[in-house]
Structure 1
Amino acid sequence: MYLTYGTVLTFLSLFSFISASELDYDGWLQVRLYHSFDDLPVPQYTERGNVTISSIRSGAAIVAQPSISNANVDKLSKLAENGSKYRLKAVVKTSSGSETTFLSSVLACNLVGSNLQDTLYIWLDSTAQPVAVNLMSRGPCSQDSPATQMWTTEVQVKYPDGGPIPDTATYIQKIEREKQARESGEVKDNRSFFAKYWMYIVPALIFFVLTSATNPEAGGAGGGGGGGAQR
C-alpha cells in the first residue's frame, strides 16, 4: 500500500515544523542569583544579583551584581584554603510564568584565581523551558585573595539545535512523479537478471551444493559396506 500524497505532505510538513520550532520561538528569562560562602551541609544563601535575558534566541543578557563585601572575600578565601566549593542558587522565571530553582557550585580556589570571573550557563529544552543552570570558573586554583571585589559574569543560553530543515518540497515532488508513473504503467524495471531473481537463484544454488556434497558420502558408505561383507 502506498502513502497518499496528502499523507506524505502532512507528515513532512509536521516534521519541518518540529525541527524548526526551537529556532522560531523566542522569549525572556529572569534569573535571581543567591550564593553561599559557608561549608555547611545546608548552605545559607544570600542575594548575589539578577540576570535579565531579553531574548533567548540572541542570548542578550543584562547582569546586575553588587561588588562582594570584605567579609565575603575573607570567607571565599577560607573556602579556597580548605579546598571547598562556592555554591550558587539560581531561580529562573520564564516568559510563560514558570519558576524553577537550580543549584550549582564551583571550586572556590578557581573563582579566586580568576579574580571573580565566571560563566553562567542556562540550558533550555526545545520548548524554551530551563532544564539546568551551571556555574563555571576557568581561573587557576589560588588561595590568595582576589585582586578585585567586582564580579565579571558571562551568561550563555544553550538550547537544542534542530539541525538542517529537510527539503520537503523536492521530496514530495519526487514522490508524486513516482506515483503518477506507477499509475500510468510507465515505470520500467531496469535491474539485471540476477537482481530481479536472486531470491530464487540463491536457494537453488545452495540446494545444489548440498546435494553434490551428500551424494559422494553416500557412495563411499555403500562401498565400505560391500567390503565388509566380503570378509
Structure 2
Amino acid sequence: MRSQIIALLTILGVLNYAACIDYDGWVNIKIEHSLNCGRDKYCSRGNISLKSIRAGSTSLIEQIPFTRQHIAELQNIAEVNGFYTIRTIVTTADNSEGTEFFSSVKADAFIEKGLADIINVWVLPNGAVIAVSFQVTNTTQPLNKDAKSHQVYSNFFLRYVELAPIPDTASYVQKLEREREAREKGDVKDNRSFLAKYWMYIVPIAIFVMISGATNPEPAGAAGGR
C-alpha cells in the first residue's frame, strides 16, 4: 500500500511538470556507496532505469540489501559524526559515457530513519540531468540491528527545472537606437512637468534661500521705553 501511494504521488507530480520537457529518452542511474567495498572506494548499491524522462516512469529500481557488515561500517561512521556518501553515475541516450554526482547525509540520521531515503534527479527542459540529490526521509522507523539483512527503502522523484525567461536584449537595444534617432531629429516631445524639467535649477535656489534666512535672522523687536 505504501509503495502504491508513493507511485501515485510521483505520477501526479510528474504530470504537473512534464509539459516543460522538450526532449524524451531513457535514463539509467547507477547508485554506488562506500560501505563494505573492500579495496574499492565505491561499490554498487543499486540501479534505477527510466524508459521515459517525459513520463517519469521508472521501469526498474534495484537495490542490494544491507548486511550486518554494512550496518557496522555505517555505525562506525555515525560514531564520529561522519557522512554517508553515495555516488550516482547517470547515462542517457545522448551521454553514454555517464556523468557523476555525489551527495551525502549524516550517517546517524540514515540509521535513525531505518535506511529510508529520497533520491531526486533534476532535469532541464532539454532532458539533461544536472544534479542528483540524496536525503533521508522525515519519518522514523526503527532499524532491527540484529537482522541478517536490511532493506533500503528509496523514494525516487524526477524534478523538472524551469528556465527563467531570457531578457530580450536585441529589442531593447533597437528601442534605444530608435529613441536616439528621434531625439536627433527633434521628434521627441518632452511631456515632463515643470518641476521634473527644471529641478536641477530650482533646488540650488531653494537651498540658497534657506541658508540666507538662517544666517541673517530678523532683528529682535525694540525693547520697551524707560
Instruction: Provide the C-alpha distance between the structure 2 equivalents of 1:39 and 1:203, rounded to a whole number of angstroms.
Output: 79
Establish whether residue 79 from structure 1 lines up as the match of residue 78 from structure 2. no
The corresponding residue for 1:104 is 103
Instruction: Provide the C-alpha distance between the structure 1 equivalents of 2:130 and 2:99, rounded to a whole number of angstroms.
Output: 9
Q: Aligned-pair distance for 1:125?
A: 5.5
Q: Is the 8 A contact 1:76 1:86 kept in 2?
A: no
Instruction: Provide the C-alpha distance between the structure 2 equivalents of 1:151 and 1:131, rounded to a whole number of angstroms.
Output: 25
Q: Aligned-pair distance for 1:52?
A: 2.0
Instruction: Provide the C-alpha distance between the structure 2 equivalents of 1:146 and 1:115, rounded to a whole number of angstroms.
Output: 13
Q: Aligned-pair distance for 1:164?
A: 7.1
Establish whether residue 34 from structure 1 lines up as the match of residue 41 from structure 2. no
Establish whether residue 144 from structure 1 lines up as the match of residue 165 from structure 2. no
Give the TM-score, by structure 2 length: 0.57
Q: Letter of the aligned partner of 1:151 in structure 2?
A: V
Unaligned runs of 5+ in 1: 1-21, 221-231
The CA RMSD measured in Å over matched residues stands at 4.4
The structure-2 alpha-carbon separation of the partners of 1:194 and 1:107, relative to structure 1 and needing over 3 Å to count, comes to: closer
Q: Is the 8 A contact 2:116 2:136 kept in 1?
A: yes
The CA deviation string for residues 172-200 of structure 1, in whole angstroms up to 9 with x for no partner, is 9xx8xx98xx89x9987665432333232
Q: Where is the helix percentage greater, Structure 1 or Structure 2?
A: 1
1:145 aligned counterpart, secondary structure: coil
Give the TM-score, by structure 1 length: 0.56
Q: Aligned-pair distance for 1:90?
A: 1.0
The corresponding residue for 1:156 is 157
Instruction: Provide the C-alpha distance between the structure 1 equivalents of 2:93 and 2:130, rounded to a whole number of angstroms.
Output: 15
The CA deviation string for residues 93-117 of structure 1, in whole angstroms up to 9 with x for no partner, is 1332252122333344444444443
The CA deviation string for residues 36-64 of structure 1, in whole angstroms up to 9 with x for no partner, is 32499x86433222212334345333343
Instruction: Provide the C-alpha distance between the structure 1 equivalents of 2:37 and 2:42, rounded to a whole number of angstroms.
Output: 11
Instruction: Provide the C-alpha distance between the structure 1 equivalents of 2:99 and 2:114, rounded to a whole number of angstroms.
Output: 29
Q: Is the 8 A contact 2:36 2:69 kept in 1?
A: yes
The corresponding residue for 1:135 is 134
The corresponding residue for 2:48 is 51
The structure-2 alpha-carbon separation of the partners of 1:200 and 1:61, relative to structure 1 and needing over 3 Å to count, comes to: farther
Instruction: Provide the C-alpha distance between the structure 2 equivalents of 1:204 and 1:158, rounded to a whole number of angstroms.
Output: 62
Instruction: Provide the C-alpha distance between the structure 2 equivalents of 1:62 and 1:127, rounded to a whole number of angstroms.
Output: 21
The corresponding residue for 2:119 is 120
Q: Letter of the aligned partner of 1:122 in structure 2?
A: V
Instruction: Provide the C-alpha distance between the structure 1 equivalents of 2:73 and 2:188, rounded to a whole number of angstroms.
Output: 76
The CA deviation string for residues 10-32 of structure 1, in whole angstroms up to 9 with x for no partner, is xxxxxxxxxxxx75344442111
The structure-2 alpha-carbon separation of the partners of 1:191 and 1:141, relative to structure 1 and needing over 3 Å to count, comes to: same
1:24 aligned counterpart, secondary structure: coil
Instruction: Provide the C-alpha distance between the structure 1 equivalents of 2:146 and 2:85, rounded to a whole number of angstroms.
Output: 17
The CA deviation string for residues 115-171 of structure 1, in whole angstroms up to 9 with x for no partner, is 4432112234576443432222225485633887443322223343335799x9xx9
Q: Letter of the aligned partner of 1:77 in structure 2?
A: I
The corresponding residue for 1:228 is none
Q: Is the 8 A contact 1:115 1:146 kept in 2?
A: no
Unaligned runs of 5+ in 2: 1-19, 220-226
The structure-2 alpha-carbon separation of the partners of 1:197 and 1:87, relative to structure 1 and needing over 3 Å to count, comes to: closer
